[in-house]
Amino acid sequence: MGTDTCYHCGDNCVQDNIVYDQKNFCCQGCRTVYEIFSSNDLTYYYDLQAAAGASPKITECKYDFLSSEAITDKLVEFQDDDMQIISLYIPHIHCSSCIWILENLNKLHKSIFSSQVDFPKKRIRISYNWQTISLKELVLLLTRIGYEPNISLEDYDQKINKKEYTLIYQLGVAGFAFGNIMFLSFPEYFEVGEFWIEQYKPLFRWLMFFFSLPVVFYAARDYFISAYKGIRSNLLNLDVPIALGISVLFIRSSLEIIFDWGSGFFDSLAGLVFFLLLGKFFQQQTYSFLSFERDYKSYFPVAITRILNDGTEDTVPLHHIKKGDRLLIRNEELIPVDGLLLLGNAKIDYSFVSGESAPVYKEPGDKIYAGGKQLSGAFEMEALKSVPQSYLTRLWGNAIFQKDRTTSFRTLTDRIGKRFTIGVLTIAFTAALFWLFIDSGRLINVFTAVLIIACPCAIALAAPFTLGNMLRIFGHKKFYLKDSQTIERLARVNMAIFDKTGTITTTKKETVSYQGMDLTLAEESLLKNTLRASNHPLSRALYDLLAEHDIVTLDEYQEHIGHGIQGAKEDGQIKIGSATFVGNKSGLANQNTAVHISANDEYKGCFVFHNEYREGISNVFNSMQSNMELAILSGDNAGEKSNLEALVPLGTPLHFNQKPEDKLDFIATQQQKHKRVLMVGDGLNDAGALAQSDVGIAISENINVFSPACDAILDATKLPQLPSYILASKQAMKVIKLSFVLSLLYNVIGLFFAVTGQLEPVIAAILMPLSSISIVAFTTVATHIIGKKLS
């Protein structure tokens, strides 16, 4: 047993150690990839980054559906007489070696014209000659070199999402106009009354006017729309004073130049819109390689093998499955619909659906449900429902998935906006009334000046810049949030609910304890060697946990799928497997997963597997309980109850055997009691709960693989940091409030000029950018300090 690492993928060579070309490989797959690369002079792959590869996992027939033209037509982007272009998502893309090899695919197969990687999105666009290499062959080629693309139902239902460039265009227009107007308005700032200026004043002013037209009618469009919508639904959001400020600025400036009263405020107007849009743009932090909107479609297969009445097989798209169809489910395939098992034995992993970690055995005649994964061999089933009507997929029919949370949540800025608007209008009218009696000629001037100077540019910038910064800081700490609003919701949470399996327990490691009679040395060696031959996940786990023994060749080895394994050597014989298989008469009822052992037909005992809890999980609970309630909801049985109780603070409610709907209902009940709920989960079975909660965080050990729809994705290694992340989001909200105070100060200074009727364009032009820039600087420094504390 060497502990050499594989030259291709970097894993330890535990089972096999293949030496080829003086290099170690952990499996035939890795060796084959190396062979392909070296025979095509592509070994530079290993120079760029050592051990960057992945072992190819080829399941024959998996991509048979790509032979069907109806399906490929839906997947390809472009097709003409000999060229096809396809864009594929490849989760394994992670380093420069990957980019290099994937952009040199044309050396592996001459029918590939070119390929281009989009690293942030983990996608590759390949153009190839489909007359000489079919899509199926192309996908198999990628799979063979360890870059298996992920083709799911989602790609098939392609909703062509047009890229949103509008904001960038608006920003471009505003920036362009802002720069030019600034430079055109400069001569007039100093009012020197020279002949030269007097002569060209109208030209400069009208140029400014024309530059500001696209700013008001295109770049600032969204503010008017949002303000109009707000007023119509009796909401005074912050966009109302902004829209009011912009229109007053534009109208007053236009009147000023028409009647030659002054030069207008076009520079402030363009600057204001530019800064506002900059804030908006800054807030848009997207993690393009992550998806927060996933549902079952992302990992259901595109097509499934159907068995016709005459015994032939064909491939049908998932949507075409009708009640009564006979389907063939292969090893490692997902069951797409609820149905009856007809032929063969099924061992189904329902962890995606129920959170139950142990696989379930089914025999012909049993009902099986969509979402389970077949773990051993192939079986035939009869569909009893269509895909949308199946038990798992019905969950997405729940109204909670149609609700857009962003519209129902009122942000801090919106709540401030209402008071602010009322305040500004009050001041404007009071000042106008005052001047009505003193000097009615100045009335309009003062009234508009108040609206202009109080335009809450700085207030509107505080939240986007703070939250945008926080999003980026969290992203560096492997906590990926869907949008900036999530931070605000996270700061207000007062109850946290955790799922058990896969969330607070690891999916990788399990601890094992032995209960029963001691085994002799010969029996132990036999046990270890019998396990060596088996590929069952429990056997593998147990094998890794047992002490080292010399490798011996067994005289006899049999695997009984779904029951257990048996091995014999010279005089010893051993059976490993389920209680009934090894003949456990004691009827020891254990709710945990267990592997029973009998030697020479005498029952010895069993190895009981326990969930391994993530490190630091009890610290997470202890630090969170001080300021919020906790609860555990698990889809698993109560076998772990005693272990769990030791970890959580006393009196924390633990609920077991929770179905996906139960979790959703539990959260809804808590919300009716005015709890703001944080849900932490990991699987599809938590999807409903994650959607129902105020903030849903998905824990993921590999963020590229799968996570259900949620508000945030947290890398599993960072779970112990969760309390400090919540604290940081609370601090971020404090920063926003401080910024509000700061920008109100600026407004007070500006209002002094406005109310006394001495607001000159040059003052507005200085005050506006100054307030905006200082707010941005303050929030940047403050969030940076918060980020420093996080590490």
Partner 1 sequence: MSVIYVLLTISIVVAVVFFTAFIFSVKNGQYDDTYTPSVRMLFEDELVKAAPEPESKKLNQPKENNQ
User: Is residue 106 close enough to count as binding partner 1 by CB under 8 A?
Assistant: yes
Q: Which is nearer to partner 1, 160 or 741 (CB)?
A: 160
- Of 118 and 382, which has the nearer Cβ to partner 1? 118
Q: Crossing angle, helix 722-755 and helix 412-438, to 10 degrees?
A: 10
Any contact of residue 557 with partner 1 (CB under 8 A)?
Answer: no
Among 14, 36, 51, 207, binds partner 1 (CB under 8 A): 207
Binding mask 166-205 for partner 1 (x = CB under 8 A): --xx--xx--x--xx---------------x--xx--x--
Please name every residue paired with 20 in a beta bridge, in sequence order, or none if there are none.
23
Q: Shortest CA distance to 692 belongs to which of 666, 723, 653?
A: 666
Please state, in angstroms and as integers, the Cα–Cα distance from residue 376 to each residue in 362, 370, 372, 561, 570, following that order. 11, 17, 12, 7, 30
Helices (H), 40-165: 44-48, 69-75, 96-103, 135-144, 153-156
CB of 289 to partner 1, least distance (A): 11
Residues in CB range of 63: below 8 A, 6 or more apart: 136, 139, 140, 143, 151
Q: Provide, rounded to whole angstroms, the least separation between the CB of residue 520 and partner 1.
A: 58
Which CB atom, from 80 or from 518, has the smaller least distance to partner 1? Answer: 80
DSSP-derived letter for residue 637 is -
Backbone φ and ψ of 390, nearest 5° = -70, 160
103 binds partner 1 (CB under 8 A): yes
Q: Is 281 exposed, middle or buried (0-12, 13-18, 19+ CB in 10 A)?
A: middle
528: enclosing H helix or E strand? helix 521-532
Q: Of 730, 703, 731, 715, which Cα lies nearest the Cα of 479?
A: 715
Query: Closest approach of Cβ 248 to partner 1, in Å?
Result: 27
**What is the closest distance, in whole angstroms, from the C-beta atom of residue 47 to partner 1 in the complex?**
8
Tell me the closest approach of the beta carbon of residue 196 to partner 1, in angstroms.
7
121: contact with partner 1 by CB under 8 A: yes
Tell me: does residue 774 bind partner 1 (CB under 8 A).
no
Tell me which residue of 257, 259, 279 sits closest to 267, measured CA to CA: 257
Q: Which H or E element spans position 622?
A: helix 617-625
Which range binds partner 1 by CB under 8 A, 41-49, 343-351, 628-636, 708-716?
Answer: 41-49
Site residues for partner 1, 332-361, by CB under 8 A, read: none
Of 73 and 556, which CB lies nearer to partner 1 in the complex structure? 73
Nearer to partner 1, 96 or 590 (CB): 96
Coil/strand/helix, residue 20: strand
The one-letter amino acid code at 525 reads S
For partner 1, which is the closer residue by CB, 50 or 517? 50
120 in contact with partner 1 (CB under 8 A)? yes
665-to-138, 473, 661, 690, 733 alpha-carbon distances in Å = 46, 34, 6, 11, 30
Q: Is 616 helix (H, G, I), strand (E, B) or coil?
A: coil
Is residue 221 near partner 1 by the rule CB under 8 A? no
Q: Which of residues 47-86 bind partner 1 (CB under 8 A)?
A: 47-48, 77, 85
Q: Which of 23, 94, 109, 125 contacts partner 1 by CB under 8 A?
A: 125
Tell the smallest beta-carbon distance from residue 125 to partner 1 (Å).
6
Output 164 or 404, the one with its CB closest to partner 1.
164
Q: In angstroms, what is the minimal distance from the CB of 215 to partner 1?
A: 13
The minimum distance between CB 249 and partner 1, in angstroms, equals 22
Piece of the chain touching partner 1 by CB under 8 A; list 110-118, 349-357, 476-484, 700-708: 110-118
Q: How far apart are CA 246 and CA 244, in angstroms?
A: 6
The residue among 196 and 259 lying less far from partner 1, judged by its C-beta, is 196
Nearer to partner 1, 168 or 766 (CB): 168
**Closest distance to partner 1 from the beta carbon of 152 (Å):** 20
* Number of H-type helices and E-type strands within the chain: 27, 28
Residue 59 C-beta-side C-alpha neighbours within 13 Å: 13
Give residues 79-98 in contact with partner 1 (rule: CB under 8 A): 85, 87, 96
Q: In angstroms, what is the minimal distance from the CB of 43 to partner 1?
A: 8
Q: Which of 15, 74, 82, 107 binds partner 1 (CB under 8 A)?
A: 107
C-alpha distances out from residue 227 to 240, 278, 746, Å: 5, 19, 24
Beta-strand runs (E) in 303-364: 303-307, 313-317, 326-329, 339-343, 346-349, 360-362
Please give the distance of CA 231 from its chain centroid, rounded to a whole number.
34
| Distance from C-alpha of 418 to C-alpha of 423, rounded to nearest angstrom | 9
Report which of 216, 188, 207 is spatially closest to residue 272, judged by C-alpha positions.
Answer: 216
Q: Which is nearer to partner 1, 17 or 87 (CB)?
A: 87
DSSP 658-727: --HHHHHHHHHHHHHTT--EEEEE-SGGGHHHHHHSSEEEEEESSTTT---S-SEEEEGGGGGGHHHHHH
- By beta-carbon proximity to partner 1, the closer residue of 100 and 361 is 100
116 binds partner 1 (CB under 8 A): yes
Q: How far apart are CA 695 and CA 628, in angstroms?
A: 14
Confirm or reject binding of residue 232 to partner 1 (CB under 8 A): no
Q: Does 38 participate in binding partner 1 (rule CB under 8 A)?
A: no
| Site size for partner 1 (CB under 8 A) | 37
Nearer to partner 1, 165 or 259 (CB): 165
Q: Which of 15, 45, 41 is nearest to 28 (CA)?
A: 15
Q: What is the footprint of partner 1 within residues 665-724 (CB under 8 A)?
A: none
- Site for partner 1 (CB under 8 A): which residue of 16, 21, 44, 586? 44
* Pairwise CA distance, residues 352 & 659, whole Å: 12
Among 40, 286, 511, 515, binds partner 1 (CB under 8 A): 40
Nearest approach in angstroms of CB 267 to partner 1 is: 16
Nearer to partner 1, 41 or 404 (CB): 41
Segment contacting partner 1 (CB under 8 A): 13-21, 42-50, 440-448, 602-610? 42-50
Report the site for partner 1 in 584-603 (rule: CB under 8 A): none
- Name which of 454, 549, 399, 353 is nearest 755 in CA terms: 454
Asked if 1 touches partner 1 (CB under 8 A), the answer is no
Choices 44-52, 294-302, 501-509, 635-643; region in contact with partner 1 by CB under 8 A: 44-52
Length of the chain equals 791
For residues 484 to 503, the per-residue mask of contacts with partner 1, x marking binding by CB under 8 A and - elsewhere, is --------------------
Closer to partner 1 by Cβ: residue 107 or 415: 107
Find the shortest distance in angstroms from Cβ 773 to partner 1.
23
Residues whose CB falls within 8 Å of the CB of residue 344, separated by 6 or more in sequence, listed in order: 364, 377, 378, 379, 380
Cβ closer to partner 1: 132 or 558?
Answer: 132
Residue 219 DSSP symbol? I
Binding to partner 1 (CB under 8 A) within 152-171 occurs at 162-163, 165, 168-169
DSSP string, 233-298: TT---THHHHHHHHHHHHHHHHHHHHTTS---SHHHHHHHHHHHHHHHHHH----TT--SS--GGG
Minimum CB separation from partner 1 for residue 200, in Å?
A: 6
Q: How far is the CB of 127 from partner 1 (least distance, A)?
A: 9
**Closer to partner 1 at the Cβ: 44 or 429?**
44
Whole-angstrom Cα distance, residue 527 to residue 541? 13
Interface ranges with partner 1 (CB under 8 A): 40-41, 44, 47-48, 77, 85, 87, 96, 99-100, 103, 106-107, 114, 116-121, 125, 162-163, 165, 168-169, 172-173, 176, 179-180, 196, 199-200, 203, 207
